A = this chain, B = another copy of it.
Amino acid sequence: MASIVLIGAGSASFSLALLKDLILTKSLWGSRVTLVDIDAERLAIAEGLATRYCDAFKADISFAATVDRKNGLEGADFVICAVKVGGYDPLEAERKIAEEHGYYRGIGDRVSCYYGGVGAYHQLKFLMDLAADMERICPNALLIQTANPVFEGTNIVTRHTKVKAVGVCHGHFGYQVVAETLGLNVADVRFQIVGFNHFTWLTHFRYKGQDAYPLIDRWIEEQSEKVWSSGEFPEGMSPGAVDTYRMYGLFPIGDAVRCAGPWWHHTDQKAKERWYGNSGLFFRKDAPGGFDCELQWNRYLQDKVVLHQELVQLAKQPTAALIEKHPLQSSGEQHISIVDAMVNDKETILELNVPNDGCLGGVPDDVLVEIPVVVSGRGIQGLRVGRLPASVMNHSMLPRLIRLENILNAYMNRDRKTLVLMLMDDPRTRSFEQAKRLIDTLLAQPWNAGAAAHYR
């Protein structure tokens, strides 16, 4: 069957999630999975858990594990990348430094800079290095790129290397949150979601064959105030989501609720509470301000640590305990569906990030768009989705497009100046000196030595 390489497999929870999907996809049994991570200890734990989990279900999937990426890539058909270079501590330290310079919760986009650090450097460098390896070792493999920033990280590969790559996220499933809040049966909902990663918009929303947008409008008119004052509502139907919808004309979905809306939803904790209230992505509701706020984000990071520690403990316990805690069920991720659709030539409609090539009007061909695609033995084919409304394009998408171009150009041309100029577009910047000082300070941190040498 397929040879699948998982880069960043030391995240045992992510490895386990994909493994479950693989076990549930019998048409892919016989496949070989190679787990790759630079952390031998974490890798050994992930491999042990995966092997035991697989054996328990008698799934015909073989495993290998290696800390040598080049070795792992030999003969790969699919390379799934879920790497977060350097962990989260440097990012949190950069955020603190930025706050001292007047930038509440740090600089830049609420994803690209959070994950890649200043200029998204660490993630971009990793992906370009990985792509260079793939070009040599497995030039026909597909890179299934799920590491943030998915937008810049995947687009730099599709634009500047010969590697075939597709970006994968799960944010579009946020349409279910909208449907559930309206009291709809999700199985009867049809939708189309279009945009850039984390800048995704509900262009079509149909329920039992009818346009369901009027149901959203009615909910806003008749129920929103009551629901919001109760404090119990999902981020996807928060005042921030509805305000963005009213301003731009389409409902934002998933991370777009926070990422694609206007800057003034995020100026301080008070604003975040006003627009996101007690809502969160999947969090305890006693941390108002939405997923990006200090409390929720820090809990998210803590939860990651706790989850991994639990898995470390489970690795020492009988398999039954592991399965009880982590029952075999679909992860809801799309990675394995892509592999299945391509290997077994099953025409499958997914929501993926691919070079535009004319699918979304008004966006250049070489820009990565998140759109519905058909995946099959023929490959990945985007659906032509027409144009987004002018308001969405001009107020949200095009500014984000400029940010993409700046991040990629800064990286490719090693241009520190562009990092400063990007920060000049931040509404909190008061002077060129302020922006330059912060960029220089960030690049002077010990973990950024490589970045400092890169951005000349």
Interface string of A54-84 (1 = CB under 8 A from B): 0000000000000000000000000000000
Interface string of A386-406 (1 = CB under 8 A from B): 000011011100110110011
In the complex, the chain B residue whose C-beta lies closest to that of A399 is B402
A224 within 8 A of B: no
Contact partner of A417 among B247, B398, B418, CB < 8 A?
Answer: B247
A298 within 8 A of B: no
In the complex, the chain B residue whose C-beta lies closest to that of A401 is B398
Tell me whether B398 and A398 are in contact (CB under 8 A): yes
Q: How many copies does the complex hold?
A: 2
CA distance A54 to B193 in the complex (A): 65
In the complex, the chain B residue whose C-beta lies closest to that of A427 is B427
Known: A398-B398, A399-B402. A264 touches B424 (CB 8 A): yes
In the complex, the chain B residue whose C-beta lies closest to that of A403 is B394
Tell me whether A393 and B421 are in contact (CB under 8 A): no
Tell me whether B413 and A390 are in contact (CB under 8 A): yes
Which residues on B sit within 8 Å (CB–CB) of A263? 424
A409 within 8 A of B: yes
Tell me whether B413 and A395 are in contact (CB under 8 A): no
A364 within 8 A of B: yes
CA distance A413 to B393 in the complex (A): 15
Min CB distance, A245 to chain B, in Å?
12
Tell me whether A418 and B391 are in contact (CB under 8 A): yes
A431 within 8 A of B: yes
Contact partner of A409 among B391, B399, B405, CB < 8 A?
Answer: B391
A173 within 8 A of B: no
A429 within 8 A of B: yes
Tell me whether A409 and B394 are in contact (CB under 8 A): yes
CA distance A401 to B424 in the complex (A): 18
From 349 to 379 in chain A, residues with beta carbon under 8 angstroms from any chain B beta carbon are: 362, 364
CA distance A394 to B419 in the complex (A): 12
Which residues on B sit within 8 Å (CB–CB) of A432? 262, 264
Which residues on B sit within 8 Å (CB–CB) of A398? 398, 401-402, 405
Which residues on B sit within 8 Å (CB–CB) of A393? 405
Tell me whether A390 and B402 are in contact (CB under 8 A): no
Known: A395-B421, A417-B247, A424-B264. A390 touches B405 (CB 8 A): yes
Tell me whether B427 and A264 are in contact (CB under 8 A): no
From 281 to 331 in chain A, residues with beta carbon under 8 angstroms from any chain B beta carbon are: none
Interface string of A404-427 (1 = CB under 8 A from B): 011001000101011001001101
Min CB distance, A160 to chain B, in Å?
13
Which residues on B sit within 8 Å (CB–CB) of A415? 391
Contact partner of A429 among B247, B402, B418, B427, CB < 8 A?
Answer: B427
19 new A-B contacts at CB < 8 Å, known A362-B364, A394-B402: A247-B421, A262-B424, A262-B432, A264-B424, A264-B431, A390-B409, A390-B413, A391-B409, A391-B417, A394-B409, A394-B418, A395-B406, A395-B418, A395-B421, A398-B398, A398-B402, A398-B405, A402-B402, A427-B427
7 A-B pairs with CB atoms under 8 Å apart are A247-B421, A391-B415, A394-B402, A394-B406, A398-B398, A399-B402, A402-B402
Give residues in A with beta carbon < 8 Å to B.
247, 262-264, 362, 364, 390-391, 393-395, 398-399, 401-402, 405-406, 409, 413, 415, 417-418, 421, 424-425, 427, 429, 431-432
